[in-house]
Amino acid sequence: MRIGILFGGCSEEHPVSVKSAQEVATHLDPEKYEPFYIGITKDGAWKLCDGPDGDWESGRPAVLSPDRSVQGLLVLEQGRYETISLDVVLPVLHGKLGEDGAIQGLLELSGIPYVGCDIQSSALCMDKSLAYLVAGNAGIATPNFWTVPANENIGPDRLTYPVFVKPARSGSSFGVSKVSRKEELSAAVDAARQYDSKVLIEEAIVGSEVGCAVLGNDGDLISGEVDQIVLSHGFFKIHQESSPESGSDNSTVVVPADISPASRSLVQETARAVYRALGCRGLARVDLFLTEDGKVILNEVNTFPGMTSYSRYPRMMDAAGLSRAEVIDRLVSLAVTGKIQ
């Protein structure tokens, strides 16, 4: 099967995407797949390369054709374009233009089957405020929240502190601040606006941060093992560490989570309910809060979670008995046939 693997991208999560693609490349079965690696530079140039390692940015210029009669890549070769057909695309892209429906729109135009959520669910999950509205209407608990559009402000006296201030449409904790006093609010909003003009302010939930990996379409869903973020201080800042492979200075990810069997089942059940309510397909990591009284509250949904060696999604699936290679196989099967085979 000829599989196109997109990685890199223009978002602040570019380096994470490259690491994710490196891990995918390690676990891609050469007996099943003929990979074509397309790296996207931070400036948005597309390069057909030998893989996500080394000097991939010196690869040949290539684009994904939106013309369904081509269904593949157009590669610039000596002043002419040659075509490479693809059977499926695995968009290993995180953040803006990768998880927000943009690349999914191009893939829909191309007519090539692709792994992961579609345009609508990608866009919905990327905007945390919209995800909260839809999940809340489906009966799923969410934090109390406020949105601050571009060029507007919110009166600091309206809020009960502490609160978290974050970009509404970003990921990996970029631009996120915990605000304990009203005097800190303005600076936190400015920090969030470095990543998105729309800012989300939400109440601080007292409880454990837990997550659940989900794989599948519609009613046929597989849940990974539940994980738990154990903090020594501060709040969880994924991918903000100088060397995340070596661990974090304030947090440890525990898999399986140190929670009761009843809480574990409730977290998995809630994660599947969130996944369905937001129209996810293929895969997603659903992040939640578990309070001391056993209530589960939505935090956020990552429609293409990290696949690095230290990422949470593959570790949760590992703990559930699915290797990284098996996860890739099942994702490709879902993209091509709509079913897990």
Is 94 designated active site?
A: yes
Residue 247 has pLDDT above 60, yes or no: no
Query: How high is the pLDDT of residue 218?
Result: 87
Query: How high is the pLDDT of residue 234?
Result: 56
The widest CA-to-CA distance across the chain, in whole angstroms, is 66
Is 33 designated active site?
A: no
Residue 79's pLDDT band (cuts 50, 70, 90): confident
d(CA 304, CA 307) in angstroms, rounded, equals: 9
Query: How high is the pLDDT of residue 271?
Result: 98
Minimal CA–CA distance to 92: which of 242, 288, 313, 321? 313
Is 27 designated active site?
A: no
Choice among 95, 310, 313, 330 that is catalytic: 310
Minimal CA–CA distance to 119: which of 249, 279, 300? 279
Choice among 16, 24, 134, 327 that is catalytic: 16
Choice among 94, 166, 198, 281 that is catalytic: 94
Query: How high is the pLDDT of residue 341?
Result: 72
Domains located in the chain, CATH noted: 2-114 (3.40.50.20), 123-141+206-337 (3.30.470.20), 145-203 (3.30.1490.20)
Query: How high is the pLDDT of residue 301?
Result: 97
Higher-pLDDT residue of 244, 219 = 219
Query: How high is the pLDDT of residue 219?
Result: 81
Choice among 198, 285, 312, 324 that is catalytic: 285
Start-end of H helices in the chain: 14-26, 102-110, 119-126, 128-137, 185-192, 261-277, 312-319, 324-337
d(CA 61, CA 78) in angstroms, rounded, equals: 11
Mean pLDDT, residues 94-120: 97
Render pLDDT for 132-173 as a digit per residue (tens, 0 to 9): 999 999 999 999 999 999 989 899 999 999 999 999 998 767
Query: How high is the pLDDT of residue 308?
Result: 95
Is 161 designated active site?
A: no
Contact 25, 39 (CB under 8 A): no
Residue 235 has pLDDT above 70, yes or no: no
Render pLDDT for 286-314 as a digit per residue (tens, 0 to 9): 999 999 999 999 999 999 999 999 999 99
Query: How high is the pLDDT of residue 237?
Result: 53
Amino acid at 170: S
